[in-house]
């Protein structure tokens, strides 16, 4: 594949071919090619959201399948993740510069034991683009880190991400601690990540499970509106 690829001129591919090529390039961890292709699609009038979902997220989904099946290993997936992040880096300012009115504040982080951050970063970007102020705590957050951040930032929303079946139960540790401290009702708690589902979200006492970044934005807006209505501020 590498020999053929040297001859491919990305700008000469049509949209569909280019999208498929991006899936391949992400798979191969080709950061420069991903960045070039993102610029080409932007130049062709693609929205940042379409580039994210159709080219980058879809490419990472394919990587995930081969990682699961033992065809790809951690070093290769890390390269793919870096290529994905470089593409996201170009799109981030475009997703954020919407001039949307401030809707509220969010603190978000990946839970303890978990270093996956691509999905969380996507949620942060989309939330910022929708008008939320976001404090991103990064990866591997213990309950103390969440508590310290929400006491400092006083957000409306606490978001937690987990990508491993072994780390998702930690979300309950955080929520239980909020309950113990009498702080649970002060925040909207949203959770997300590939292994979660709605039932899990309910079982651990979150306000909502968000399937993807777009759902996170919609859910956040809806629950913020409900909160304002309850407080009689809207
Ligand atoms: Co990991 N990994 N990984 N990995 N990795 C998974 C999650 C896995 C499903 C792969 C597989 O086997 N198919 C599997 C988990 C299996 C399980 O738990 N049942 C797995 C494993 C096993 C591991 C290791 C244990 C591998 C090892 O070391 N042997 C190890 C664990 C490290 C750790 O965390 N302690 C590991 C390591 C890694 C890398 C470092 C190589 C890399 C992470 C790089 C990084 O993130 N910086 C990596 C990657 C890239 C993946 C896959 C391939 C892709 C994840 C991703 O970025 N997806 C993943 C396979 C998969 O998920 N199918 C896999 C793209 C992203 C846009 O989607 O993160 O789902 P996602 O986010 C979505 C939604 O879920 C939602 O919105 C996002 C955007 O739409 N969402 C939220 C996410 N968080 C949210 C928070 C919210 C709301 C919505 O808050 C409100």
- The answer, yes or no, to whether residue 233 has pLDDT greater than 60, is no
* Rounded distance between C-alpha atoms, residue 95 and residue 21, angstroms: 23
Determine the Cα angle at 193 with ends 115 and 92, to 5°: 75
What pLDDT, on a 0 to 100 scale, did the predictor assign at position 234?
45
- The answer, yes or no, to whether residue 232 has pLDDT greater than 80, is no
What pLDDT, on a 0 to 100 scale, did the predictor assign at position 184?
98
Q: What is the pLDDT of residues 124-156, one digit of tens each?
A: 988 988 889 999 999 999 999 999 999 999 999
The two counts, helices (H) then strands (E), for the chain are 11, 5
Domains of the chain plus CATH, in order, are: 10-98 (1.10.1240.10), 104-233 (3.40.50.280)
pLDDT band at 98 (very low <50, low <70, confident <90, very high): low
Please state the separation of Cα 143 from the chain's center in Å: 20
Give distance in angstroms: CA of 213 to centre of ligand 1.
14
Cβ atoms within 10 Å of 43's Cβ, excluding its own:
9
Q: What is the pLDDT of residues 28-82, one digit of tens each?
A: 999 999 999 999 999 999 999 899 999 999 999 999 999 999 999 999 999 999 9
What DSSP state is assigned to residue 187? S
Mean pLDDT of 226-232: 83
- The answer, yes or no, to whether residue 18 has pLDDT greater than 90, is yes
- The answer, yes or no, to whether residue 163 has pLDDT greater than 60, is yes
What is the value of pTM for the model shown? 0.92
* Rounded distance between C-alpha atoms, residue 213 and residue 124, angstroms: 8
- The answer, yes or no, to whether residue 121 has pLDDT greater than 50, is yes
Atom of ligand 1 nearest to the CA of 115: 34
Give distance in angstroms: CA of 60 to centre of ligand 1.
10
Range in 71-75, 97-101, 162-166, 187-191 the model is least confident about: 97-101
- The answer, yes or no, to whether residue 99 has pLDDT greater than 90, is no
* Rounded distance between C-alpha atoms, residue 5 and residue 202, angstroms: 47
Atom of ligand 1 nearest to the CA of 80: 50
Residues within 6 Å of ligand 1 by CB: 57, 60, 63-64, 67-68, 74, 77-78, 81, 108, 113-120, 122-123, 159, 161, 163-165, 190-195, 210, 212-213, 216
Q: What is the pLDDT of residues 171-207, one digit of tens each?
A: 999 999 999 999 999 999 999 999 999 999 999 999 9
Give distance in angstroms: CA of 9 to centre of ligand 1.
31
Mean pLDDT of 19-33: 98
What pLDDT, on a 0 to 100 scale, did the predictor assign at position 111?
98
With both helix axes pointing from N to C terminus, report the angle between 213-231 and 118-130 in degrees, rounded to the nearest 10.
Answer: 50
């Amino acid at each position: 594949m590498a020999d053929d690829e040297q001859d491919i001129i990305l700008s000469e591919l049509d949209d569909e071919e280019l999208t498929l090529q991006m899936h391949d390039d992400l798979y191969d961890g080709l950061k420069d090619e991903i960045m070039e292709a993102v610029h080409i699609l932007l130049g062709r009038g693609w929205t940042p959201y379409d580039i994210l979902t159709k080219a980058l997220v879809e490419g990472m989904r394919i990587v995930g399948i081969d990682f699961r099946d033992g065809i790809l290993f951690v070093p290769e997936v890390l390269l793919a993740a870096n290529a994905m992040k470089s593409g996201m880096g170009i799109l981030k300012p475009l997703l954020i510069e919407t001039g949307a009115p401030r809707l509220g504040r969010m603190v978000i982080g990946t839970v303890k034991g978990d270093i996956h951050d691509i999905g969380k970063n996507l949620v942060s970007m989309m939330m910022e683009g929708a008008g939320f102020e976001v404090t991103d705590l990064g990866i591997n957050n213990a309950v103390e880190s969440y508590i310290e951040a929400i006491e400092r930032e006083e957000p409306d929303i606490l978001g937690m991400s987990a990508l491993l079946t072994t780390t998702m139960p930690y979300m309950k540790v955080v929520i239980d601690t909020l309950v113990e401290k009498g702080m649970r009702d002060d925040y909207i708690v949203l959770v997300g990540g590939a292994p979660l589902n709605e039932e899990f979200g309910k079982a651990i006492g979150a306000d909502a499970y968000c399937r993807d970044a777009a759902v996170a934005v919609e859910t956040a807006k809806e629950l913020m509106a409900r909160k304002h209505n309850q407080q009689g501020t809207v």
